Amino acid sequence: MIKDKINKKTIILWVFFIVYLAVLIKVIFFKYPPGVIYDLFKTRNESWAFRLTNSNVLPMKTILYYLSGSESTLISIKNMLGNILAFIPLGFFVLKLFIRTKHLGHILIISLVISISFELIQLLTGIGCFDIDDVLLNVLGAVMGYFIGRLCTKKYNQPREFVS
C-alpha cells in the first residue's frame, strides 16, 4: 500500500517534470512565432560576429545594467525574475526525482550544465543570445527550488501530534 502511494507520487512527479521541461524549452527556444524564429535563424546564422557581439560573458554585466535603471524597470524585473522563476522547479524536481542528487553541489552542477547548454544552443542557432548572467540567475532559481524541496520534505516528514 505504501509502495503504491510512493510509485504513484513518483509517476506524477515525473509527468510534471516532463511537462515542466517541455514548457521551459518552449519558453526559451520557441518564444516567437515560427516565421520569426526562421528569420532569426536564417539571418543570425549568416553572422557569427553579430551573435558574439550580442553575447555577454562578463558575470554581473547584464544584472548591474538592469539594477542601474538604464533599462525599463518592468523589463529588468521581468528578465531577472523570469530567469530565476524558470529554474525553481528544476531544483525541486531534481531533488525529488533523482536519488543521488540530494546535495546542493549536485543541484549546482546539474542546473549549471542545463543552463549553459540552453545558452549555447541559443548562441549556436541564433534564436537567442548567450548571457552568462542568465546562467547565474537560472542557477540561483534552481538552488531556491532545492531549498523549497528540502523545506517541503522536512515539513512533510515531521511527526504529527494527535489530540485526543
Helix 104-125 / helix 2-29 crossing angle, nearest 10 deg: 30
| Global confidence as pTM | 0.86
pLDDT confidence of 15, banded at 50, 70, 90?
Answer: very high
* Span 97-131, pLDDT tens digits: 987 778 999 999 999 999 999 999 999 888 888 99
Of 23-37, 123-137, 149-163, the poorest mean pLDDT is in: 149-163
**DSSP assigned state of 29:** H
Residues 73, 79, 82, 83: what is their CA dihedral angle, to the nearest 10 degrees? -140
* Span 56-79, pLDDT tens digits: 999 999 999 999 999 999 999 999
Domain ranges of the chain: 2-157
Please state, in angstroms and rounded to a whole number, the distance separating the CA atoms of residues 59 and 76.
16
Please state, in angstroms and rounded to a whole number, the distance separating the CA atoms of residues 148 and 95.
10
Other CB atoms within 10 Å distance of the CB of residue 119: 22
pLDDT value of residue 48: 77
